[in-house]
Amino acid sequence: MKVVMMIMMTFMKVMVVMIIKKAMMVMKKVVETMTLMTMRMLMMTIKKLMEILMMVMMMIMVRKIMRLTDEGGGDDDDNDANDDEGGGNNDDEGDGDGRGGNNDDNDHDDYDD
C-alpha cells in the first residue's frame, strides 16, 4: 500500500511540474504576443505621428514658398480681405455715418459733438 502511495505521489508531483511548465510556456507566449502587439501598435502610432509631422512641415514649406513668391504690396497677414490697399482709415473722425469724432469712450450715439 505504501509503495502505491509513493508511486501516486511521484506521479502527482510530475503532473504538477508538467502543468506548471505548460502554464509558464503559455504565459511566456502570451507575454511575447502582447509585447509584439504593443510594439506593433507603438510603431504604428509613431508612424502616424511622423506622417502628421511631415504633413505639417509640408504645409509650412508651401506657405513659406507662397509667401516668398507673393508679389509685394498688401499686408503680409494671412487674411486676404484687403490686401493691396493701405488699410482702412483708423482715425476717430466721423466717417459719414452720422457720428462725430469725439474720442471719449462712451458708446452712446454721439451726433456731431
Average model confidence (pLDDT) across the chain = 76
For residues 83 and 73, is the Cβ–Cβ distance under 8 A? yes
pLDDT value, residue 113 = 53
Task: Tell me the pLDDT band of 51, cut-offs 50, 70 and 90.
Answer: very high
pLDDT value, residue 21 = 92
Cα–Cα separations (whole angstroms), residue 64 to 45, 56, 67: 29, 12, 5
Query: In this predicted model, which residue has the larger pLDDT, 106 or 20?
Result: 20
pLDDT value, residue 38 = 87
pLDDT value, residue 98 = 55
Query: In this predicted model, which residue has the larger pLDDT, 103 or 29?
Result: 29
Phi, psi dihedrals of residue 84, rounded to the nearest 5°: 55, 10
For residues 100 and 111, is the Cβ–Cβ distance under 8 A? yes
